[in-house]
A and B are shown apart, each in its own frame.
Chain A
Amino acid sequence: MKRLSCLLVLLSILLASCSLNLLSQEDALGTASDFSGTVISDAGDFLILLISDTHEGRVKSVYTDYYTQLTNWLKSSSPFQAAFLLGDITNDATSEQYASALSKYGGMNSSVYVTAGNHDVRKNGRNLFLSTFGKVYQKVIIGGISFYLLDSSFRCFGKAQLDKLKQALKQDGNPKFFLTHMPLAGQDVNYYYLCLSDSDERKLLLALMKENNVNLYLAGHRHLLMDTVTYSDTCHEVDIGPLNGKNITIEQPPNWYTLSYNSTTKEATITQYIGQGNSVEQHTVGTFIIAQ
């Protein structure tokens, strides 16, 4: 009995002191990604385009004219400094869908940044994403604000990416925005099954956002619009509706968004555009004071 108890305690101590790093492995797409940062502009006003859930290749219950509505609107819109695509670019992650998505959205602007959604990593999707768009998570600096494009395509962020993110945030004194596919907020039961479901990762993200001056968390995925979530006076989450959602009652007509930043007032305004036949409706989602 005593020997067995001693063995048990010894085993416990041995197990408690080892570090295996079992969850730190990344695939080729993760290894190719980092937060070293691309600088578009260090200061000044800017306008960016936000699109999510293009679901290239979806054939059932689609709005047939969503892409025409977007491209027609782009012809008359103010020039934007960058475009961000927040995942589910393809519907089934086939090479044809990736090629089609690249031809449609890759040429919208010289600075198009894309992250993957859960639909984009089906089958061989991770490798196709790597060869089509390159990095799946990265940092882009526009107007002195750091945009962190995060990979939540596995419906979680994963240890390797989170470790790199923590390091990058420590060295970054800019105001920050997080952009990704999976929403964080799940307070409302109706939306609960469509958000990041790992409680640990949510707690960590919220803590990182508070500690590192992350003002906005922008995410797609839901296809349902919920109100802006306020985590604190200077930290909000905004749902980005789908460009190519289903043409069914519970979903929305085609959505795309702009984020404009006024460097004088330090305010960011998110505007939603909704394609309605030949017209485009415009709504202000919110104006957010960006803590410096």
Chain B
Amino acid sequence: MRHYRILDVIILLACCIPLFASQGLSLWSGYCETSTNLQCSSFSLEWQDRGFQVGYRLFYPQNSLALGYTGKIGRNFIYQAKAHTTIYGQEGLTSGLEATIGLHSHKEHWELGFLAGAQGEMANLASTSSPLTNLVFAFHGWVRAFLGRASVALLYDSSTLFWYSYESLVPFVTLEGNYMVLDHFGLGVQLRMRYADLAPNEKFHITMVEGLVGGLWKIK
């Protein structure tokens, strides 16, 4: 594990080099624990422009690539399409697609939005003789407050986060804070957790915790 962490840090540093010369990028790195993956460092890199989003995430042994597009319909309706592939070393790979549509409102100090739709996923694993497939409901909701250069957001994702998908009712809850130190550069913090499927009267059980710090380079 130690060697992988060193490798992770080297990749992180290598990826920082083009960042300093690029625009419209964000880099997140930090600590992540899941119920199956021993304390791992995670690292992700995202590029955004005109509704398009491209990202890479390293969460050893997972390497994920993701594409997304968010478009507007009229003043308040938005739609989003996402695709991702995650490679689990020699264990196999998972590919998923998600399509959602919803409402979005952005006032001076507030932004509110939700998206609902479906996600499909296919896992080709070395441990199974045929692919595992699924098609489930997907929901995203967020509220963001803007205070000068700072913003704080609370995000709920029912099943899919940008780089990888989970099955329905394994939601991610994210608290995010950003501060634009300079006009085109900011720092961010993300605290995220995922919890197990839940029905009325049942106990809450956390299956992932994540703490990330990030650098945000805004598109000029």
- Contacts from A to B (Cβ < 8 Å): 1, 4-5, 8-9, 11-13, 15-23, 92, 118, 121-123, 126, 154-159, 162, 185-187, 189, 192-193, 197-204, 206-207, 209-211, 230-233
Q: Is the CB of B12 within 8 A of A200?
A: no
The answer, yes or no, to whether B135 is at the interface (CB within 8 Å) is yes
Minimum CB–CB distance for B104 against chain A, Å: 28
Assembly CA distance A111 to B134 (angstroms):
39
Select from chain B the residue with minimum beta-carbon distance to A7: B187
Q: Is the CB of B213 within 8 A of A198?
A: no
Which residues does chain B contribute within 8 Å of A22, judged by CB atoms? 33, 209
Which residues does chain A contribute within 8 Å of B136, judged by CB atoms? 192-193
Which residues does chain B contribute within 8 Å of A159, judged by CB atoms? 33-36
Which residues does chain B contribute within 8 Å of A122, judged by CB atoms? 201-203
Q: List 26 contacting pairs A-B, 8 Å CB cutoff, sorted by A.
A: A1-B182, A4-B185, A4-B215, A13-B9, A16-B9, A16-B43, A18-B31, A21-B39, A23-B34, A23-B207, A121-B203, A154-B202, A158-B35, A158-B205, A197-B169, A197-B170, A197-B197, A198-B166, A199-B94, A203-B36, A206-B125, A207-B91, A207-B127, A209-B127, A232-B129, A233-B129
The answer, yes or no, to whether B98 is at the interface (CB within 8 Å) is no
Given A16-B31, A121-B203, A206 and B167 touching (CB < 8 A)?
Answer: no
Minimum CB–CB distance for A186 against chain B, Å: 6
Proximity string of chain B (12-30) to chain A, C-beta cutoff 8 Å, 1 when within and 0 when not: 1100100010000001011
Select from chain A the residue with minimum beta-carbon distance to B19: A5
Which residues does chain B contribute within 8 Å of A162, judged by CB atoms? 35-36
Given A9-B13, A16-B41, A20-B31, A154 and B196 touching (CB < 8 A)?
Answer: yes
Assembly CA distance A195 to B38 (angstroms):
24
The answer, yes or no, to whether B68 is at the interface (CB within 8 Å) is no
Number of residues from B at the complex interface, CB < 8 A: 62
The answer, yes or no, to whether B219 is at the interface (CB within 8 Å) is no
Assembly CA distance A126 to B181 (angstroms):
49
The answer, yes or no, to whether B133 is at the interface (CB within 8 Å) is yes
Q: Is the CB of B16 within 8 A of A198?
A: no
Query: Which of B8, B167, B211 lies in contact with A197, CB distance below 8 A?
Result: B167
Assembly CA distance A158 to B208 (angstroms):
10
Q: Is the CB of B39 within 8 A of A20?
A: yes
Given A1-B185, A203-B88, A231-B128, A123 and B170 touching (CB < 8 A)?
Answer: no
Near A by CB (< 8 A), chain B positions 190-209 give: 196-199, 201-203, 205-209
Q: Is the CB of A198 within 8 A of B196?
A: yes
Which residues does chain A contribute within 8 Å of B12, judged by CB atoms? 9, 12-13, 16
Q: Is the CB of B201 within 8 A of A156?
A: no
Which residues does chain B contribute within 8 Å of A158, judged by CB atoms? 35, 205, 207
Query: Which of B35, B41, B211 lies in contact with A201, CB distance below 8 A?
Result: B35
Which residues does chain A contribute within 8 Å of B37, judged by CB atoms? 200
Assembly CA distance A285 to B41 (angstroms):
45
